[in-house]
Structure 1
Amino acid sequence: MRNIVFVLICFYSSFFLSAQEKETLFTINDSPFYTDEFVRVYNKNLDLVKDDSQKDLDKYLELFLGYKLKVQKANKLGLQNEAKYQNELNSYRTQLAKNYLNDSKVTNSLIEEAYERTKNEVRASHILVLVDESATPADTLKAYNNIMNLKARAEGSEGFDAVAAKYSEDPSAKDNKGDLGYFSAFKMVYPFENAAYNTPIGSISNPFRTRFGYHIIKVTDKRENKGEITVAHIMILKPNNKDAVAELKAKQTIEDIYKKIQQGENFETLAKQFSEDKSSAVNGGVLQRFGAGQLTSPEFENVAFSLKDKDQKSEPFESKFGWHIVKLIDRHPLQSLDEMRYELENKIRRDERSLIITNTLAKKARSKYPVSVENKTLSKVKTIVTNEYYNQNWSIPENLNGFDGDIVIINSEKKINTKDFLNYLVAQQKGNVKTKPISSLVDELFEKWLDEKLIEYYDNNLENEFPEFKYVMDEYRDGLLLFDLMEKEIWVKAKTDTIGLKKFYENHKNEYLWKKRLDVDILSSTDSKTIKAAKSYLKKGKSLEYIKEKLNKEDKVNVMVKSGLYEEDYDVLPEFKIDSEGVTPVISKGNYYFTALVKEVKPSEPKTIAECKGKLINDYQQFLENNWVNELKKEFTIKVDQDVFNKIKKQLNK
């Protein structure tokens, strides 16, 4: 249902249109709703709907009125004040704002760089000399000299591996000689990644610094990304409980299926008949394509990627989910840049690369908004920040006379109190900063704080800067309220109102019918003589185990059995034209021959509430919603300005 709301958001979202005269189209309890919004969302809706009846303006006004009535009801109930609603609205705004807080030129450059790097994987070894990000110049120089010395030794007779094992301060180096294996973009911190991709195979990089310290790396190999593959599989599930007999039966079943594949039977047909992965079985076992590292089963992934040729099939193997046979359908090269753009952009936001974007935005905000700094106040702040700051023992003095005023004014309107900056200083103290003297440290932290405040101001003013941002936020706000209201008034009620649900079921019982059902054992074979023999055994009352023992000989599976209670149109059952219990004639379909033992024929009958509960609840929800708008029209006073509406109709029908 939440997806429905997001469709509604798209339904009501719009691009910025040329300004129009704004008039009141209708009121709900004296709250006005204007023509500009109605025209905007109607024009957007024209591109989304396929049913011409939804383009009818009179009908569209009814839909629009119904939507606004529901939002008014939500506001009346106070749903807009609930913490869950506020948190989700703020979370959405944060996500939407990211599109406006990025420098598109810088972001696109980073996306393109990352895409180029995803085309290859690098194998590299490294040597690390630890040094803190905020180390003193003396400690930094010492670490740098150390890494330069190790670089010279690694390039000399000792060799990189030996120097890494003996001197690298990465604890794992003693065992792996600094070897980090293969990696691609986003797997390492950004400076490390830069060095790896910019160093030729066999070469040692110049020293570079990350937040961990100084590194040198030796690139030992580069290879193409494996890309993605499409496979089909046949799966027999593991039993839920540790049942040795059931586990053995599952293993035996997959082995029998594999023998039939080796005998030349069609993989897709066997998948449809026997695979217990119901979502893929209907498609002949075909799965959505995937890349390395995307599955939750390494065993499955390893076997799938080991297949080299199209239509090549694996032997049966076990994963944590069950037993599988995999067939390679196709290999796919790396996705295009456009296909990967969204994924790459999200990764950049979580990566050190994001600092490049943030710094660019801060510069943009500084150029956009005039900033007035009270330098006298800043100088006074420097007098109360002591060297205790370096020991993380500094605190704001209790007596702050003279610090009650503003230290910064942004865009002549946003005043920020000095105490805000003082609290920031306290918080930054935990970062173990080491810039000296203390006055220089205060200046450095002030500039970082001011950047944050400018970006925050820019963010808070997006609605004023970008009308389309305001439209989307207003419409999402309403859509989210509608979701919460629907959940409260319709969806939860449909699930919990057992009396109402039962009454609805009784009035519509004939809409929830089982078709005629058959309790059957279906036997199949590619050999007509085998299936005739199986039919003969069934007529003699022989068990399924007896039949399989007699007909599956010499390690060859000649007959397979599937049992269950099925509706009459399931799989091959319609071919039998079954009217009564007993053994059916032999029929053929495709390359297979079938016979069946019909143990019971159940006539068409209403499903119980439990058997149709999912659809029943959905239908009951729709029933409640259809009657709900009529009730809301009685609860609220609606006044439509027909003259204004007629004017809008003329304008839109031109």
Structure 2
Amino acid sequence: MKRIACLFSGLFFMLVVSLSQSNETILQIGEHEFTKGEFWHVYNKNKHLPNFTETPLEFAERFIDYKLKVVEAIHQGLDTTASFKREFNQYAEDLKASFLIDSAALENKSRQAFLHMQGIVNASHILIRVEEMATPSDTVKAWNKINDLRTRVHAGESFGDLATRYSEDPSAVNNQGKLGYFSAFRMVYPFEKAAFATPVGEVSNIIRTNFGYHIIKVHEKIPNPGRIRVAHIMKMFPRNASDEVKAGFKTEIDSIYQVLRGGESFAQLAAKHSDDQNSANNGGEMRPFTLQEMVPEFAFASFALENDGDISEPVLTDFGWHIIKRLEITSIGDYASNRNNIMNMMRRDGRNRTGEISFVQQKRKESNFYLNQDLVDLMKSKASGETDNSSFFSSLSNNDGLLYSYFDKKMSLKEFVLSLKNHQTFNIQTGFNSVEKILDELIHETIIAVERRDMAKNNPEFRYLVNEYHDGLLIFEISNNEVWQNVGSDTLALQNHYRNNIDEFSTPYQLDGVICEVKTRRLVRRVNREINRQGSDFLVQILKDNSRSPDCYWCETGLFEFVSDASNPLNSVKLPDGNRFSKINGDLYWAGVILEPQPIPYREILGHVMSSYQRYKEKQWVIGLREKHVPEFNFNLLKN
């Protein structure tokens, strides 16, 4: 045990030392200090970017310049404006929310939702209503009732008949409790979870939702075919139409179907004959739908079509006869393509709170949280013996004992009883469950509030991210004021910059001629002989003529710039000598004329001039900031 204790204390000491070292000041600009930890955080983020090659020493110069701009922005009061505070505070609060969750728990819930999205369930249910804060006697009464119905189903009675007679879902009288087809996010989460977990043909365990107690019978499970876009031609008949009336419409739809089989345009026939006025003028095209969003007969007939452009035989629904043409089908896709949408839907139906609840549960297990179980047991015993709120309150309202604490936040039993008095939904007749529910809510709120308050102090990752956003906002604003603003309208300054840096705005050295890659030196000797015989004025043509030789890989004619470009034959090549035919790189040979750089007209290159002038202004500005604020950088900390 001593060895383990020594090991633990050693590890703890190393952790403390590591944290203290990361908080060492690496850069000081006046009263503003920036830590070694922040420097390495920013450097390591940049290190993973493409084409990043800077050493820590080189990066330090950019870090200094970056922080100089931040300090100057603060010096000018840009961090005190209402617009800055509003945007920064909103970002900080939104960012805190992402740190107040158990990411693993939330991810598991998201993946479970995607698993449910891949299937569709056809089910029925029986509901016995009970309020969330019902009294114990009402809760037991409802549970006994639903349990009795489940027992009768298992004994062989018809689920549908029992739903019609006993379910407290108003629609069950007409549909025998049938819910039809549904996938993820169509039902409240506990119901969805139970439906997907129950095997086909079986009845679920009793589940509770905010509506009450349910049992679910699963009739069918099928893969989710995705979303489909179709067009249709419809012959509509009145509800409750007789078989004779339906037969008359069947004759009409059959004749249209025969015309379609003869090759007539579906869109034209829909416009002429379809009774669905919402789609007829659009060639019969309907909005895309999923299997569960459409009446089953129409949906299954649509998804049964195998290829885009396929046309169904006439299909009967409660609304009429249809001929359906498949236009396009879209599969669900993989998890990555659905994740953002799943997270949004989880946010809307409340199941994303799983991440926050799990986070709080973890914090409740840590030593910084204390719950007085003796006082909890005292409340439980009082709750079982009282029948009205006032008696329960008076029995506990003078107890100053500490009920729970989290860091510096504490609540006594007396304070908790006061909060119960102010809680509109509290009713002691519901028993200890309502007390426990409100206590859990208060503990949850306390832990979240403390974690929000202390996040910048306790969480380096949050601190770095929020500082990045803070600095980025300030740098954007001050750079706009000092560098970017009015550059385009300062014509005189731009023209002077153009004249003073004319080399930057000129063409590079160029070769006007031909470049060939040769296989053998025999071709080079042959070209030289031809130049000697015909003269150098004909060398381009001579080289082109010889490009057909088996000794030549390829030849290219035109203007070639002496610039670094991987696609350029003259990439990183030094200017050749004055000869009009020579070797330039490996097996590359050129012939032609070297053109001197020429200034590019001002108006043709104005965008480049503006960008260059902005860089010039920024460089001069930073030089001034270094003189004004005199940064002190501890380069020794880069060695550790």
TM-score bracket, normalised by the shorter chain, equals: 0.5 to 0.7
The Cα of 1:132 is off from its aligned counterpart by 0.8
Map of 2:366 onto structure 1: 368
Sort the Cα spacing of 1:420 and 1:206 in 2 relative to 1 into closer, same or farther, 3 A.
same
From 53, 56, 59, the equivalent of 1:57 is 59
The Cα of 1:212 is off from its aligned counterpart by 0.7
Alignment of 1:640 with 2:631, yes or no, is yes
Provide the rounded CA distance (Å) in 2 between the counterparts of 1:631 and 1:395: 71
TM-score computed with the length of structure 2 as normaliser: 0.53
Map of 2:45 onto structure 1: 44
The Cα of 1:133 is off from its aligned counterpart by 1.5
Q: Which moved more, 1:338-347 or 1:180-189?
A: 338-347
Sort the Cα spacing of 1:311 and 1:348 in 2 relative to 1 into closer, same or farther, 3 A.
closer
Alignment of 1:477 with 2:478, yes or no, is no
Sort the Cα spacing of 1:221 and 1:407 in 2 relative to 1 into closer, same or farther, 3 A.
closer
1:144 partner SS: helix
- Given that 1:70 and 1:632 are in contact with CA atoms closer than 8 Å, whether structure 2 keeps it comes out as no
Alignment of 1:436 with 2:431, yes or no, is yes
- Given that 1:227 and 1:291 are in contact with CA atoms closer than 8 Å, whether structure 2 keeps it comes out as no
Provide the rounded CA distance (Å) in 2 between the counterparts of 1:196 and 1:402: 47
Sort the Cα spacing of 1:417 and 1:632 in 2 relative to 1 into closer, same or farther, 3 A.
farther
Provide the rounded CA distance (Å) in 2 between the counterparts of 1:74 and 1:309: 67
Provide the rounded CA distance (Å) in 2 between the counterparts of 1:622 and 1:178: 73
Aligned-residue sequence identity (percent) comes to 27
1:428 partner SS: coil
2:43 partner SS: helix
- Given that 1:126 and 1:179 are in contact with CA atoms closer than 8 Å, whether structure 2 keeps it comes out as yes
Map of 2:322 onto structure 1: none
Gaps of 5+ in 2: 1-17, 232-262, 265-286, 313-324, 496-602
Q: How many residue pairs were aligned? A: 443
Provide the rounded CA distance (Å) in 1 between the counterparts of 2:380 and 2:142: 32
Asked which structure has the greater CA Rg, the reply is: 2
From 468, 475, 498, the equivalent of 2:461 is 468
Sort the Cα spacing of 1:128 and 1:376 in 2 relative to 1 into closer, same or farther, 3 A.
closer
Sort the Cα spacing of 1:226 and 1:482 in 2 relative to 1 into closer, same or farther, 3 A.
farther
CA RMSD of aligned residues (A): 5.9
- Given that 1:408 and 1:417 are in contact with CA atoms closer than 8 Å, whether structure 2 keeps it comes out as yes
Sort the Cα spacing of 1:79 and 1:23 in 2 relative to 1 into closer, same or farther, 3 A.
same
Question: What is the CA deviation profile of residues 66-121 of structure 1, one whole-angstrom value per residue up to 9, with x for unaligned ones?
Answer: 552465257555138965235413432333314xx3173x4454344333322211
1:510-589 mapped onto 2 (5 Å cutoff): none
Sort the Cα spacing of 1:482 and 1:377 in 2 relative to 1 into closer, same or farther, 3 A.
farther
Map of 2:187 onto structure 1: 188
1:429 partner SS: coil
- Given that 1:209 and 1:215 are in contact with CA atoms closer than 8 Å, whether structure 2 keeps it comes out as yes
2:630 partner SS: strand
Sort the Cα spacing of 1:174 and 1:490 in 2 relative to 1 into closer, same or farther, 3 A.
farther
TM-score computed with the length of structure 1 as normaliser: 0.52
The Cα of 1:122 is off from its aligned counterpart by 0.6
Map of 1:410 onto structure 2: 406
- Code of the aligned partner of 2:43: Y
2:120 partner SS: strand
- Code of the aligned partner of 1:475: E
Sort the Cα spacing of 1:457 and 1:487 in 2 relative to 1 into closer, same or farther, 3 A.
same
- Given that 2:96 and 2:452 are in contact with CA atoms closer than 8 Å, whether structure 1 keeps it comes out as no
Provide the rounded CA distance (Å) in 1 between the counterparts of 2:148 and 2:96: 47
- Given that 1:120 and 1:223 are in contact with CA atoms closer than 8 Å, whether structure 2 keeps it comes out as yes
Map of 1:137 onto structure 2: 136
Map of 1:242 onto structure 2: none
Sort the Cα spacing of 1:145 and 1:418 in 2 relative to 1 into closer, same or farther, 3 A.
closer
Sort the Cα spacing of 1:32 and 1:172 in 2 relative to 1 into closer, same or farther, 3 A.
same
Question: What is the CA deviation profile of residues 594-623 of structure 1, one whole-angstrom value per residue up to 9, with x for unaligned ones?
Answer: xxxxxxxxxxxxx9xxxxxxxx99999998
The Cα of 1:44 is off from its aligned counterpart by 2.1
1:83-232 mapped onto 2 (5 Å cutoff): 84-85=86-87, 87-98=89-100, 101-102=101-102, 104=104, 106-107=105-106, 109-151=108-150, 159-227=158-226
Sort the Cα spacing of 1:331 and 1:364 in 2 relative to 1 into closer, same or farther, 3 A.
closer
The Cα of 1:192 is off from its aligned counterpart by 1.0
Question: What is the CA deviation profile of residues 342-362 of structure 1, one whole-angstrom value per residue up to 9, with x for unaligned ones?
Answer: 654565565565566555444
Provide the rounded CA distance (Å) in 2 between the counterparts of 1:441 and 1:109: 29
Provide the rounded CA distance (Å) in 2 between the counterparts of 1:389 and 1:160: 39
- Code of the aligned partner of 2:87: Y
Provide the rounded CA distance (Å) in 2 between the counterparts of 1:629 and 1:430: 65
The Cα of 1:164 is off from its aligned counterpart by 3.0
Gaps of 5+ in 1: 1-15, 234-261, 264-289, 316-324, 509-606, 608-615
Sort the Cα spacing of 1:475 and 1:121 in 2 relative to 1 into closer, same or farther, 3 A.
same
